[in-house]
Every structure is written in structure tokens, then in C-alpha cells.
């Protein structure tokens, strides 16, 4: 019906889904010709709507969303652990190989030995490179642990989707605790939240609907 269309764009107006007593807007995607499901977003790089859109990752050349988020998290966390082991082994080999050739245990003495031996110097540079990557991956892993614990996506967290008109945050997908959220995200990502049903008119809105929902 015409009353369901926006006068300016001619596209269907947003519809609303009530989740745990909170109305969440669903915008119509003109490219995919569908109403975007809750937590979905149209990716300009992949040119399609992605369920539970987290972010588009340039490193893997794909979107991270509903069906591959837990594998992405496993990938970055296991890589961080692997780099931690590599750092420990590299540090131990440097310590062992410089033990007989340095005057004391000070950093300057170790540095002098490294400069004198090209192979040891290469190991030291490798250690610094691995350390930088490890710190970045460890921080990324910790960030995703925090958003999993509150059942948010990266997109939702950065854009602060669920900030209410009173300044409080009302996440309709919160499973009432970090354990429930971790279980839902990592073990049952396809599970619909409690109290999920369609509703055609806005009620109990969180201010204005998210712009790209």
C-alpha cells in the first residue's frame, strides 16, 4: 500500500520487530529488495546483506557475520596464543645463545652480542616483529571477548545502536549475563532471542531507528 512507502524515496517505510519488549527498526534494502533482518547490514564491498553483521575484514577478504564469527574469533585467539609461544621460544633461544658471550645479564650486554652476530640480530628483529603482531592480536582478541560478553557486534558497539533516549543502553539481544551471551554467540548463533515477534508500528523505541538497520 502507498501509506507504507516513504514519500521522498518511494521505498517501503521501516517496519519494526519487538525483541524482549524493545522495538527494533528494520529498513528496506533497495539493492537486495528485502527487509533487513535484525542486526543485518548491507555490505558495500560484498554487495549483499549480511546476517548479524560484525564487520568487513580486509585481511580475510570477506564479511564476518552470523555463520563465520565464531571461526573468526577462534582464528585470531589461536593465532595470538601461537605468537605467544613463538615469542617465548625465540626469547629462550636468544638468551641461551648469548649466555656464554655476554658480560652480564643486562639489556645492553645482550644488545652488544646481538649486534656482533648477524644471525642473532635477525632473531632479535624477528622477536620485535612478532611482539608487535602479538600485542595487536591480543588487544583484538580481548576486544571481541568484551563484545561477546555483552552480546554486541563490532558494528553495534562502534555506532552505539542501543543507547536509549534516557541515556541508558538497552540491548534487546542481551541474554541476561555474560555466560548466556557467550553460549549464544559461540554455540547457538542462529538461535532467536526470547520474546521475538513481528510488530508493525513503533512502540517503546530507542530514540530514532539506526540509520543502516
For the annotated catalytic residues, the residue numbers are 57
E strand intervals along the chain: 15-19, 22-26, 28-29, 34-35, 41-43, 48-50, 55-57, 62-64, 196-199
Contacts of 90 (CB under 8 A, 6+ apart): 123, 126, 127, 130
Q: How many CB atoms lie within 10 A of CB 175?
A: 20
CA 23 to chain centre: 24
Q: Cα–Cα distance between 166 and 181 in angstroms, integer?
A: 24
Q: How many CA atoms lie within 13 A of 108 on its CB side?
A: 0
Amino acid at each position: 500500500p502507498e501509506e507504507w512507502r516513504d514519500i521522498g524515496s518511494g521505498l517501503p517505510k521501516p517496519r519494526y520487530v519487538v525483541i524482549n519488549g524493545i522495538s527494533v527498526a528494520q529498513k528496506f534494502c533497495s539493492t537486495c529488495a528485502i527487509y533487513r533482518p535484525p542486526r543485518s547490514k548491507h555490505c558495500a564491498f560484498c554487495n549483499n546483506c549480511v546476517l548479524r553483521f560484525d564487520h568487513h575484514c580486509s585481511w580475510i577478504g570477506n564479511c564476518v557475520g552470523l555463520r563465520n564469527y565464531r571461526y573468526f574469533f577462534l582464528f585470531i585467539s589461536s593465532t595470538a596464543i601461537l605468537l605467544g609461544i613463538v615469542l617465548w621460544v625465540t626469547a629462550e633461544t636468544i638468551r641461551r645463545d648469548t649466555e656464554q658471550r655476554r658480560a652480564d645479564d643486562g639489556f645492553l650486554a645482550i644488545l652488544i652480542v646481538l649486534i656482533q652476530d648477524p644471525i642473532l640480530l635477525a632473531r632479535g628483529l624477528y622477536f620485535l616483529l612478532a611482539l608487535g603482531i602479538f600485542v595487536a592480536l591480543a588487544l583484538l582478541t580481548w576486544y571481541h571477548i568484551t563484545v561477546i560478553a555483552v552480546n554486541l557486534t563490532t558494528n553495534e558497539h562502534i555506532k552505539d545502536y542501543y543507547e536509549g533516549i534516557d541515556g541508558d543502553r538497552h540491548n534487546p539481544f542481551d541474554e541476561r549475563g555474560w555466560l548466556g551471551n557467550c553460549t549464544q554467540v559461540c554455540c547457538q548463533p542462529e538461535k532467536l532471542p526470547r520474546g521475538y515477534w513481528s510488530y508493525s508500528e513503533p512502540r517503546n523505541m530507542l530514540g530514532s531507528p539506526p540509520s543502516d538497520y
